[in-house]
Amino acid sequence: MSTVIEENTERKAGKKYRIIVRSADEAVRVIQRKLGPEARVISVRQVGGQGLAKFISSPKLEVIAEIPPEGEELESEVLDTSESLSANEVDLVAESQATDIVTPDLGLPEEPSSLSEEDLNDSDVMRLLGRAGFDPALLSDLRTWAQWNELKKMPLADALKEITVGLSDRYRALDNQGTSNRIALIGPPGVGKTTTLCKFIAHEVFINKNVPHVLKVENGVPNPDDALRIFCEVVGVTLFREPTNIPQVSDESPLYLDFPGISLSHRDDWTQTGETLDLLDVETRVLVVNAAYDRAVIDQVIRLSSLLGATHLALTHFDELSNSTKLWPLVLRSGLSPLCVCHGQNVTGDFSTNVLNQLIARTFPEQLYARGISRRSS
């Protein structure tokens, strides 16, 4: 029925094609480049990974796309992603299928930047940044900087340097809180809370040489523990279901709490979770956010997190972003202390507590930065 798309794929109306990609963004690029804008996604699922391979490999998506026969509608049970395929639409398909189960890394190459030579020759720095995909909110913030009038007239390389310095200074000026020895990971369903928890556990065991404990909290909602339980057994960490059984908590034996996903449509559940955290004497409340979500959804999650007293921020799915510019206003204004960035679901890697470096590294498209340096040296 389907084949993996090859470089010389001949487009045939009515034929279905199977592609394996690392993210929804990559799926959009591959489909539009090789099958054309008329192609439609009809299914998305995660593939591969059995047993312990689920915990040590990055996930992949299997996307089935079709070029509809001319003048013929797709069958009713087929998912319609509209005439103009967009990253958001495909991303929503992927999210509906997403779990914390991970799958093998197939080693697909990075896609090149989509900036054209005409774009790169533009002398207006702000217009060039807009074409490069800079978030409008970040561009609006740049216009409020005291050095705005000078910055917008600078050569590209100098402007990029000044923006980097300005963002770094504002990040370092944040009042970042430390963490306690009781750390809860909370957030909506499907953002990768359990996978992020596994990364923290691996970091505690292999890097800090600590012996953490894990408490699986239901909070009135079923919270299965199969995948987490297997991982804890592998790394020698005890998983508890009742808070009364937990041994003494200390800096050398911190307690991590795994909560079920909280619906964005149920404000009371966020408040109730805050009350549970109070009863368990949890001070560090880490809001886990899928960085690939639409900006409006992220803003809603941030607002709701205030109902349970969130203190820190963990960003997941960072590898699915074309750039990190939409995250800067979130990080600088949310009042949450940035704690970590997860750029994959490999629980023994793909994880960094140096949030500033991760954000800076993904702020400017590589092609844009390289052109700025070449202009300055010429």
Count CB neighbours of 243 within 10 A.
Answer: 14
Name residue 207's beta-bridge partners: none
Give me the pLDDT at residue 43, please: 67
Give me the pLDDT at residue 154, please: 85
261 CA to centre of own chain:
16
CATH, domain 182-310, list 3.30.10.20, 1.10.357.10, 3.20.20.210, 3.40.50.300: 3.40.50.300
Give DSSP secondary structure letters for 54-88. HHHS--EEEEEEE-PPTT-PPPTTSPP--SS--HH
Give me the pLDDT at residue 82, please: 31
Give me the pLDDT at residue 259, please: 93
Question: Domain boundaries in the chain?
Answer: 16-97, 182-310
- Residues of the chain whose pLDDT is less than 50? 1-9, 51-52, 56, 72-113, 115, 117-122, 372-374, 377-378
Give me the pLDDT at residue 10, please: 58
- pTM of the full structure: 0.68
CB within 8 Å of 94: residues ≥ 6 apart? 23, 24, 27, 44, 61
Query: How does pLDDT run across 142-161, given as a tens digit for each residue?
Result: 989 999 888 888 888 888 88
